[in-house]
Amino acid sequence: MSFKKSPGTQDILPGSVEKWQFVEQKAREICSRYNFREIRTPIFESTELFQRGVGETTDIVEKEMYTFIDRGERSLTLRPEGTAGVVRSFVENKLFGEPDLTKLYYMGPMFRYERPQAGRYRQFHQFGIEAIGAADPALDAEVIALGYTFYTEVGLRGVGVEINSVGTPAVRGAFREKLLTYLEPKREILCKDCQSRIDRNPLRVLDCKVDQKHFTDAPSILDSLDEECQIHFDKVKQHLSDMEIPFEINHRLVRGLDYYTHTAFEFKAEGIGAIDTVGGGGRYNGLVADVGGPDQPGVGFGLGLERTVLLLEHQETAIPNLNELDVYLIALGEEADRQVTKLVYQLRKAGVKAERDYQGRKMKAQMKSADRLQARYTAILGDDELANGEITLKEMATGLQRKVSFSDLSHVIMESKLRS
């Protein structure tokens, strides 16, 4: 009997995983510069957490969650997004008791039952950040700047930022009436999802990818902002301009989650199918209180790693080889084989990336293996070298060879790495 992976999942194999390692490493590096610390939360949480946090009328909760009943008769859900779990942890572990702003980042798998397509899977991976404890619009701009920096530094071209203000619940309540007046005459020509959303959550209608052509003259929530919301939005725009981060205003951008207030934003990129959003986020000033914590404001984003890697491939972006081998050791003879086993161990202890043959292949085949592994050096040990306590070190790029003592081998290779 043979088995295949489940629909909407993927195997990330050697040769591809190095791109993921590069992207993940870059995310961690940038978060460190911005003073965000890593948090790791469970892959499954109480179903109610996502119903309350994400919103019961969202597509995620209504259609896409992987929910199950465990042996204790508890309803649990594989996390469909990262923010709700991070906020739950923030509250449960009383991180709000710290005097400073809480700045956290996460990376890991999420799960949504949706139609697989280019860069979109049922098990997918997100890199996200959450900053909790300040309402300053400069923090909104910092979060957007971190995401933009990430995309820029991994080497992607043509990534744009779209922003909007979705106001406060009071602002949205007033705007809802204007929007209903606009949408009601169009009800019959809209898709079934939109017809349902008109009654339950009309702002979500603007997020529909099917009916966008019908909303070209839709009222803008920006015209309904109160003074507080307008000042906040103006300051976010000013901070982004001061940092020279390019952005466009999209007054129909509402995001697919109910917890957003004030700033909402998305990162856009062409070249990966009909859906061009590669990540997004926003401010969520009421979410901490909604999940049982103190009323503390927050802002964050979630970026799709599958789509990031797909874009890197589409743009043929050069990725540094993080797994380049320092040296491949070749033993000629039984006694040399014993010494090579010892040398490989000592080299690895010293921080050198080393490999050797375990298949009893001839020297020519081992040299080909060293070349496939992109080894910087080969180190060849035969009877003559063994007798003298030295090994022949060959630089693969130039073909230059020299004899190096066993005791100096790791030093010579590490010194060469530092110079390159």
Q: Kindly tell me if the per-residue pLDDT of 257 is higher than 70.
A: no
Give the pLDDT band of residue 5 (cuts 50, 70, 90): very high
Q: Kindly tell me if the per-residue pLDDT of 188 is higher than 70.
A: yes
Pick from 210, 199, 258, 211: nearest CA to 58: 258
- Cα separation, 115 vs 167, whole angstroms: 31
Q: Return the pLDDT at 46.
A: 96
Q: Return the pLDDT at 272.
A: 66
**pTM for this prediction:** 0.90
The full DSSP string for 9-30 is -----TTTHHHHHHHHHHHHHH
Q: Return the pLDDT at 320.
A: 83
Q: Return the pLDDT at 180.
A: 87
Pick from 159, 138, 107: nearest CA to 263: 138
Q: Kindly tell me if the per-residue pLDDT of 396 is higher than 60.
A: yes
Q: Return the pLDDT at 273.
A: 61
- 């909407």: which residue's tokens? 8
Q: Which of 55-64, 176-185, 196-205, 403-412 has the highest mean pLDDT?
A: 403-412
Q: Return the pLDDT at 268.
A: 93
- Cα separation, 65 vs 44, whole angstroms: 11
Pick from 413, 373, 377: nearest CA to 398: 377
CATH classification of 327-415 is 3.40.50.800, yes or no? Answer: yes
- Cα separation, 191 vs 210, whole angstroms: 7
Q: Return the pLDDT at 275.
A: 60
Structure confidence by residue, pLDDT tens digits, 28-59: 999 999 999 999 999 999 999 999 888 776 77
At 156, is the secondary structure helix, strand, or coil? coil
Give the pLDDT band of residue 419 (cuts 50, 70, 90): confident
Give the pLDDT band of residue 208 (cuts 50, 70, 90): confident
User: How far is residue 238 from each of residues 43, 176, 241, 283, measured CA to CA in Å?
Assistant: 38, 28, 5, 17
Give the pLDDT band of residue 277 (cuts 50, 70, 90): confident
Tokens encoding 298: 């927050």
Tell me if domain 17-167+225-314 and domain 327-415 are identical in fold: no
Structure confidence by residue, pLDDT tens digits, 300-323: 999 999 999 999 999 999 888 777
Residues 6+ positions from 110 with CB-CB distance below 8 Å: 78, 79, 80, 81, 82, 123, 124, 125, 126
- 């009997």: which residue's tokens? 1
Q: Return the pLDDT at 109.
A: 97
Q: Return the pLDDT at 182.
A: 87
Mean pLDDT of 252-280: 81
Q: How do the domains of the chain map onto residue ranges? A: 17-167+225-314, 327-415
Q: How many CB atoms lie within 10 A of CB 364?
A: 8
Tokens encoding 180: 């209903």
Q: Return the pLDDT at 60.
A: 84
Which of 3.40.50.1820, 3.40.640.10, 3.30.930.10, 3.40.50.300 is the CATH number of 17-167+225-314? 3.30.930.10
Q: Give the β-pairing of 67-69 and 75-78.
A: antiparallel
% the chain with pLDDT above 70: 98
Tokens encoding 168: 């406060």
Give the pLDDT band of residue 90 (cuts 50, 70, 90): very high
What does pLDDT average to over the chain? 91
Strand ranges (E), 32-137? 37-38, 44-46, 67-69, 75-78, 102-111, 123-132
% the chain with pLDDT above 90: 72
Q: Which of 207-211, 318-322, 412-416 has the highest mean pLDDT?
A: 412-416
Pick from 132, 129, 158: nearest CA to 270: 158
- Cα separation, 60 vs 111, whole angstroms: 10
